Amino acid sequence: MKEQKWIHEGLITESLPNGMFRVRLDNEDLILGYVSGKIRRSFIRILPGDRVKVEVSRYDSTKGRIIYRLRNKDSKDKKDSKDKKDSKDNKDSKDNKDSKDNKDSKD
């Protein structure tokens, strides 16, 4: 039978040599994570500050395999991405108003 693994979400805090990363899990544990072959093959870039899903062995909880890089909208912390979206919408509506004013002044 295959070994059971825990899957956690975490934040990349530090990039180390050889595709290793220091990851702070949501439960505040610090682990050493390495990039899975699937991510490495797809040339997916992982940088400090990225949110990731990590597969951790039940036998050694200090190491894990990074299996997925989360986009802002995929992470549990949706509040931050919502705030960014709201500020972007306000900026877009202001730009649309400015462009409408420019059209009116041209006529």
Residue 7 confidence (pLDDT) above 60: yes
Residue 15 confidence (pLDDT) above 80: yes
Boundaries of domain holding 99: 77-107
DSSP assignment letter at 49: T
Same domain, 53 and 87: no
Same domain, 59 and 105: no
Same domain, 22 and 64: yes
pLDDT tens-digit readout, 73-96: 666 655 554 555 555 555 555 565
Same domain, 19 and 67: yes
Same domain, 17 and 54: yes
Top-confidence residue, 20 or 73: 20
> What is the number of domains present in the chain?
2
Same domain, 5 and 47: yes
Could you tell me whether strands 30-35 and 5-16 are parallel, antiparallel, or unpaired per DSSP bridges?
unpaired
The kind and range of the H/E element at 81 are helix 78-106
CATH number at residue 64: 2.40.50.140
